[in-house]
């Protein structure tokens, strides 16, 4: 039988629950450095399996987040990094835990900075004569560093069944738990997609009906329910 050596790399982006699958458990999927807060945050990584786990940690800075021009860049020179993750490699014994410390080195932040932290198991090569499917599950931690004076300004306009939303502030806005009901029958409702609007982002959403739509709007200063007529 022909040797099959396939590796699947799956990035799980979870926004409300801890990330857990296979033998690795990461207790935080989003890390937020709040304005005026501590410059360091810890993420716990657990090995729930029966074998020693080797893990690599990589920091990617996100340029133009949420836009068509978005890029995720690894610093060519580690000395230029304004956010570091340490250690960069972990060895976790079965049933054990280790911490990844994220440290923000930039003291003044005029604009919001966005990063993605890859947490990836390192696996040994497959044996030459084996035929098997290997699944490698990596996790990506969204890391947000708020500006010193955050402002989230949500703009909205309607054209029939199209809702256009924008963020003209300098801090992200999370739109979730969206819902719209049929104006002719309030018992018929549909859920609307969620979206994080980073500074400068615009989003045009096609609605089921030409009527009011509601969203839960989360910003740096809390959550509120907003209706878009």
CATH code at position 201: 2.60.40.10
Domain assignment of residue 187, yes or no: yes
- Range of the structural domain that residue 96 is part of: 8-145
| 101 and 172 co-located in one domain | no
The pLDDT score that the predictor gives to residue 123 is: 79
Strands of the sheet with 162-167, listed across from one edge: 154-159, 162-167, 202-206
CB 26 within 8 A of CB 141: yes
Report whether 124 contacts 62 (CB < 8 A): no
What's the whole-model pTM score?
0.84
What is the per-residue DSSP string for 6-47? Answer: EEEEEEE--SSS-EEETTEEES-SEEEE-TTS-SEEEEEEEE
Please report, in tens digits, the pLDDT of each residue of the chain (229 residues total): 433 333 333 333 333 334 444 589 999 999 999 999 999 999 999 999 899 999 999 999 999 999 999 999 998 787 788 999 999 999 999 999 999 999 999 989 889 999 999 999 987 665 665 556 656 678 999 999 999 999 999 999 999 999 999 999 999 999 999 999 999 999 999 999 999 999 999 999 999 999 999 999 999 999 999 999 9
Answer with the one of 145, 174, 199 that is the final residue of a domain. 145
Question: What pLDDT does residue 133 have?
Answer: 62
Instruction: Specify the pLDDT at position 106.
Output: 93
Give me the residue label for tokens 């610093």: 75
Answer whether residue 183 is part of any domain: yes
Q: Verify that 90 and 161 share a domain, yes or no.
A: no
How many domains, the chain? Answer: 2
Domain-embedded: residue 3: no
120 and 217, same structural domain? no
Q: Which of 114, 145, 176 is the last residue of a domain?
A: 145
Residue-level pLDDT at 20:
40
Q: Which of 145, 176, 200 is the last residue of a domain?
A: 145
């Amino acid at each position: 039988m022909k040797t099959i050596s396939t590796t699947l790399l799956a990035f799980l982006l979870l926004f409300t629950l801890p990330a857990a699958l296979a033998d690795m458990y990461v207790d935080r999927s989003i890390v937020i450095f709040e304005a005026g807060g501590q410059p360091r945050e810890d993420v716990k990584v657990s090995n729930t399996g029966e074998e020693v786990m080797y893990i690599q940690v990589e920091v990617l800075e996100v340029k133009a987040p949420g836009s068509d021009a978005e890029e995720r860049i690894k610093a060519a020179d580690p000395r230029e990094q304004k956010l570091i993750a340490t250690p960069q490699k972990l060895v976790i014994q079965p049933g054990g835990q280790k911490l990844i410390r994220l440290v923000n080195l930039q003291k003044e932040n005029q604009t919001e900075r966005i990063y993605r932290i890859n947490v990836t198991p390192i696996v040994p090569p497959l044996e030459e004569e084996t035929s098997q499917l290997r699944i490698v599950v990596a996790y990506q931690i969204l890391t947000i560093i708020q500006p010193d004076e955050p402002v989230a300004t949500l703009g909205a306009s309607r054209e029939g069944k199209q809702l256009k939303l924008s963020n003209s502030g300098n801090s992200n806005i999370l739109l979730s738990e969206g819902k719209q009901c049929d104006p002719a029958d309030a018992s018929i409702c549909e859920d609307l997609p969620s979206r994080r609007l980073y500074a400068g982002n615009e989003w045009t959403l096609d609605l089921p009906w030409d009527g009011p739509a509601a969203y839960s709007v989360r910003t740096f200063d809390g959550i509120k329910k907003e209706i878009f007529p």
